[in-house]
Structures are given as structure tokens and as C-alpha cells.
Amino acid sequence: MDIKKITTAEDLEKAFSIRKKVFVEEQKVPVEEEIDGFDVLDGDCEHVLLTDDHGAVGTGRVRLVDGYGKIQRVAILIEARKNGYGKVIITKLEQLAAARGAKKAKLDAQVHAIGFYEKLGYTVQSEVFMDAGIEHVLMTKEL
Ligand SMILES: CC(C)(COP(=O)(O)OP(=O)(O)OC[C@H]1O[C@@H](n2cnc3c(N)ncnc32)[C@H](O)[C@@H]1OP(=O)(O)O)[C@@H](O)C(=O)NCCC(=O)NCCS
């Protein structure tokens, strides 16, 4: 298993492919909401790619917002879940944010994933709200 910050257009395309399968095809998020202006190389977001023996299977991105590392688009292909890869992705994104000076991390967690983020030290900070047709809560963590 390998986790790395994305630095090439080829790897960014692999990340988009994972996100399309997970968010658009599996979770039915509208494709026009899935990709946004942060999805470029050398922009505000740092993207990561996790690869195993089957190829690229996981991704996520982080950027600094008001001193927080804001984590988004965390996705593991369905067949690769429950192997600890999600934890590896979050840890890498936290490290990237901390290296840029973030003291805390925040994310909008899908309600089904609250337990996943709680295991990684995040706590719920909001009521449930809707985004892209999916129930979410704000969660934060001290880095
Ligand atoms: C949420 C997601 C990223 C988790 O990835 P994963 O690789 O399966 O998670 P891990 O194997 O690293 O799990 C780490 C721990 O969290 C637990 N966990 C994983 N998913 C969980 C869930 N949905 N609810 C509660 N606990 C969960 C695991 O059992 C594991 O616990 P352990 O350390 O005691 O063994 C993955 O299910 C996914 O991509 N889902 C679809 C996209 C999505 O919803 N992304 C999140 C948007 S907010």
C-alpha cells in the first residue's frame, strides 16, 4: 500500500475516477456538484492518492480555511473498504494541513460515516444539514 500527495495530471485523473465511482455512481451525487474549482494541480487543495495491489483505490483532498485543514472528497472504492485505508488517507491529509500550519481539522461528515471519523478523533459540532442530497454534520479535531 502506498499513499502520496498527487503531483501529476495522470494521478489527479485517477483520483477523479475513484470519486466518480463512489460519489456519482454509488451515492448519486450530481456530477456537476462533484468536481469544482479546487480540483486542479497547484491550486489551494492538496490531493492524495492511495494505491494497493489492485491499483488506485482511495483519495481525498485538503485546503486551509480560517486556520483549519478542511478535508473533503474522502473516498475508498467499495471493494477496498474496511482495510484501514480511510484512516491512512485522513492521517496523510492531516499531516499535509499541519505542515501548512493548521492546528485543527474540520470536515462535513456524511452521517453514515460519523463513527469512522469519531474513531479518528473528530467530534460532531453541528446539527444535521443537507448537502448534495445527503445528510451531513460538521466535525472538528485538534491536530
Ligand atoms: C467512509 C470511508 C472513507 C471509510 O473508509 P475505510 O477504508 O472503509 O475505513 P477504515 O478501514 O480506515 O476504517 C477505520 C476505522 O473506522 C471504522 N469504520 C469504517 N467505516 C465506518 C462507518 N461507516 N461507521 C463506523 N465506523 C466505521 C472501521 O471499522 C475502522 O475501525 P477499527 O480501527 O476499530 O478497525 C469509506 O467507507 C468510503 O469511502 N465511503 C464512501 C464515501 C464516503 O462516504 N466518504 C465520506 C464522506 S464524508
Enumerate domains of the chain plus CATH numbers: 2-142 (3.40.630.30)
What is the tens place of the pLDDT at every residue in 118-138?
999 999 999 999 998 899 999
Secondary structure (3-state) at 94 = helix
Q: What is the mean pLDDT of residues 38-45?
A: 95
Residues of the chain with pLDDT > 70, as a percent, come to 100
Burial zone of 127 (CB within 10 Å; 0-12 exposed, 13-18 middle, 19+ buried): exposed
Q: Is the CB of 89 under 6 A from ligand 1?
A: no
C-alpha cell at 51: 494505491
Residue nearest to atom 21 of ligand 1 (CA): 116
Question: Measured from the CA of 87, which atom of ligand 1 is nearest?
Answer: 12
Terminal-to-terminal C-alpha distance of the chain: 24
Q: Is the CB of 72 under 6 A from ligand 1?
A: no
Q: What is the CA radius of gyration of the chain?
A: 14
